[in-house]
Structure 1
Amino acid sequence: MKGKVHIKISNIANKITYEFTLNRNITIIEGNSATGKTVLISLIRAAKDKTLQGFIRVDCDYPCIAFSSDEYDWERRIKETGNSIIFFDEDATYVKTEEFAKAIQNTSNYYVIVNRESLSNLPYSVDEIYGIKESGKYGGLEPVVNKFYRIYSKYDNFKDNKDIYVDNIITEDKKAGYQFFSKVYDCNCFSSGGNSSIIKPLEEIPDNEDTLIVADGAAFGSQVKTLEEFTRYRNNIKVFLPESFEYLILSAKIFGNHNKMIEKILENPSDYIDSRKFISWERYFTSLVEDISKYYAYASYDKTNLKRFYQEGINKDKIASQIPISRECLKDSIE
């Protein structure tokens, strides 16, 4: 499955409506108790009850299915279900397992998971973690409309701010992104060794130094809450969560003959990213850079060994222009 999916679920008798759009294959719903999460799952389940037909309506181009917390043989059911939206309530503890993460790979479904805990086995996006906001009044004449809102939208703030001065940069690992930052910027660059350890390098950095943490937003959803809690009151720590380093490369328009095609894809990636092939957008963008770069001399992309094509001259400048670090922090030359 690919593309955005709009869903509207209505309890006609009680005048309660949920309306939202899924942008990717994994969507997480968080929030405290009594915010409508369980009601949403209950309505989807009740819509299958023939005795309630006419009272509950689900408007969606794809089947919507609610798995129970003790769903029998859930792995097999996932594999046998295709082109559907599958919902899981927070009591479904199996969504936290490695087996679940493996089961949903290479499937054509979209998954909506209600859970207040981080799901470290799943590569979900910071942009696809939602709470539920209601308008209207229960029991009154005014309908109640429940809509999703992004919980971590504040990390969009770097889109218009590209003049950050930093002493240190922390990346997730020592692959392409780390190699670019360490060779292009005149700053100390640290690798955390993985997104679950992203704040560990801060132990080696003086508290009075300015630090930018960079991680792949497309797969960082399970760690963003911990990072936010750690950095909330530390103004000298900034967080930059682009989709991925490969997304920055694509946005830089360094592949001349392919730039128009890339621009079209980046306008609405969900139309191009097939959930059966790519469990996360980060993997898609990596694959896209690998495929396109083969058409350019000395540019064949290797995530583990970033070529000089990306670290020198105008290409370096174009990629750096996508990053919110001041140009004054750039090295004069590449060593």
Structure 2
Amino acid sequence: MKGAYRVIVETRKVKYDFRIKRNITIFTGDSGSGKTVLIDLIREYRRFGSDSGVSVSCSCPCRTLDNEDWEHQLGEITKSIIFIDEGNRFLISKKFAELVIKSDNYFVFATREKLPMLPYSIHEIYGFRKSGKFHEAKQKYNEIYHLYGEISEKEGIDPKFVITEDSNSGFEFFAELSKQKNIECVSLKGKSNIVKKLEDNQGVEGKKLVIVDGAAFGSEMKDVSEYVSVENNMILYAPESFEWMLLSINVIPDSNSTSILQQPEEYIDSREYASWEQYFTRLLTDKTKENPVWCYSKKKLSKVYLSAKVINAAKRFMKFIIWD
């Protein structure tokens, strides 16, 4: 399943209006914020149609999934947006995660819990607010995005220590940037126990820059955002992925991907790719596989990616960070 879909769910009293564009979207918020109401309305509309008093408008079928016989139900649903409330026990099961990753449906989970078995984006986590007499979705983690987006070019961020989630090619690249700046770069070697690993480097003086792949970091975002909000000397940088960044700087021969980068949702099939991170890795690998100099590997970075041409282009792309 590909594409972006606008969903409008409304009754005489409430209205929800939002867009879904990835295979996994998270709706979160305190009890009573409106998450369950939304799913109940979709369920009522599926059962009783217009007689329910609910209107659902979307170019893609909107479905719900419940505890009873969920696996059989899921097996019969295709090319739909499936809404699931946190009260369903199967939501945190390994079996469910495996089926979601292989599915050609989009999923919306209304939950306050993190789902570590699923690779979802930090950009697709939403909360709820009241606007006039209607509910509408808004991004839950704006405080993190604002922290990143409000950094002006004049002010800049001058890191004294760099921490990467990646331990392979991405780490090699940012280690080289750090080396040129004469600062240390360490790898977290994955997302597991990330806050504990950040605490282990707490004693380092100066501004710390934490670099993660935003496309699959959603399950850790709550813990990390809370930690970063207390640690004033820590900045989170979360591009879609390292491969996305390399494609975005547009210096690799015959790898122009402008149209894809502008609207990835129109190209990325949810059944084929569990996350956009996987897609951009495949895209970069395919675009460079015939070029022995630029051939990209996630495990080991070719020397050309550490050349002045690529390094300088990346520095310009990350213009809010002072690398020199």
| CA deviation map 1:94-133 (0-9, x unaligned) | 1112211101122210000010011111111101000112
What is the CA deviation profile of residues 118-151 of structure 1, one whole-angstrom value per residue up to 9, with x for unaligned ones? 1111111101000112223xxxxxxx32211001
Cα distance in 1 for partners of 2:255, 2:296 equals: 15
* One-letter code aligned to 1:47: Y
Q: Distance in 2 between matches of 1:317 and 1:295?
A: 25
- 2:267 aligns to what? 272
Q: What amino acid maps onto 1:146 in structure 2?
A: H
State how far apart, in whole Å, the 1-side matches of 2:223 and 2:267 are: 31
Q: 1:171 aligns with which of 158, 161, 164?
A: 164
* 2:28 aligned residue: 30
1:108 paired with 2:97, answer no
Quote the residue 1:239 is aligned against: 236
Q: Distance in 2 between matches of 1:51 and 1:172?
A: 47
Relative to structure 1, the CA distance from residue 266 to residue 155 in structure 2 (aligned partners, 3 Å threshold; closer, same or farther) is: farther
1:282 counterpart residue number: 277
- Please state whether the residue corresponding to 1:238 is helix, strand or coil: strand
Give yes or no for contact 1:252–1:319 (8 Å, CA) kept in 2. Answer: yes
1:209 maps to 206
* CA deviations over 1:203-242 (Å, ceiling 9, x no partner): 1452533211111111111101111111212211111111
List aligned pairs for 1:320-331, cutoff 5 A.
320-323=315-318, 324-328=320-324
Q: Is the 8 A contact 1:155 1:240 kept in 2?
A: no
Q: Distance in 2 between matches of 1:220 and 1:96?
A: 17
Note if 1:154 corresponds to 2:143.
Answer: yes
Q: 2:191 matched to which residue of 1?
A: 195
Q: Provide Cα deviations, 1:132-174, integer angstroms capped at 9, x if missing partner.
A: 12223xxxxxxx3221100113333435646321121111131
- Gap regions ≥5 residues in structure 2: none
Change (3 A) 1:51 1:265: closer
Percent identity (aligned): 35
Question: Helix, strand or coil: the match of 2:101?
Answer: coil
Between the aligned partners of 2:215 and 2:10, the Cα distance in structure 1 is: 31
Q: Tell me: CA distance 1:321–1:296, structure 2 relative to 1, closer, same or farther (3 Å).
A: farther
Query: Which deviations, in whole Å up to 9, do the C-alpha atoms of 1:47-106 show, x marking residues without a partner?
Result: 0233752621111111111112x231x223223311001010110121112211101122
Q: In 2, are the aligned partners of 1:211 and 1:238 still within 8 Å (CA)?
A: yes
Alignment match of 1:303 (pick from 298, 301, 321):
298
Q: Quick check: 1:19–1:145 contact (8 Å CA) kept in 2?
A: no
Pair 1:101–1:33, CA change in 2 (3 A): same
Amino acid at match of 2:177: V
Q: Which amino acid aligns with 2:321?
A: I
User: Which of 55, 58, 61 matches 2:56?
Assistant: 58
Residue 140 of structure 1 corresponds to none
- Give the secondary structure class of the aligned counterpart of 1:154: helix
* Matched residue SS, 2:230: coil
1:201 and 1:235 map into 2 onto residues whose CA distance is 13
How big is each residue's C-alpha offset from its partner over 1:8-30, in whole Å with a ceiling of 9 and x where there is no partner?
1121xx33211110121100010
Q: Using the alignment, how far apart are the partners of 1:224 and 1:254 within structure 2?
A: 31
**Normalising by structure 2, what TM-score?**
0.92
Alpha-carbon shift at residue 310 of structure 1 (Å): 0.8
Larger displacement relative to structure 2 (318-327 or 33-42)? 318-327
Within the alignment, does 1:84 sit opposite 2:80 as a pair? yes
Alignment match, 1:8: 8
Kept after mapping to 2: 8 A contact 1:210/1:237: yes
Over aligned residues, Cα RMSD in angstroms? 1.8
Matched to 2:80, the amino acid is: S
Pick aligned residue for 1:182 from 175, 178, 203: 175
**One of 304, 308, 311 as aligned partner of 1:316:** 311
Structure 1, unpaired ranges of 5+: 137-143, 329-335
Among 110, 131, 136, the alignment partner of 1:135 is 131
In 2, distance between residues paired with 1:161 and 1:98? 43
How far apart, CA to CA, are the structure 2 residues paired with 1:54 and 1:30? 25
Return the offset for 1:285: 0.7
The one-letter code matched in structure 2 to 1:254 is V
Local SS of the residue matching 2:126: strand
Cα distance 1:51–1:125, how it changes in 2: closer, same or farther (>3 A)? closer
Spell out, residue by residue over 1:185-213, the C-alpha distance to the aligned partner (whole angstroms, 9 max, x if none).
23211111211233314414525332111
Look up the SS of the partner of 1:218 in the other structure. helix
Contact kept in structure 1, 2:166 and 2:212, CA below 8 Å:
no
Alpha-carbon separation, structure 2, partners of 1:286 and 1:155:
25
State the alpha-carbon separation in 2 of the partners of residues 282 and 184 from structure 1. Answer: 22
The number of aligned residues is 315
For 2:274, the aligned partner's letter is I
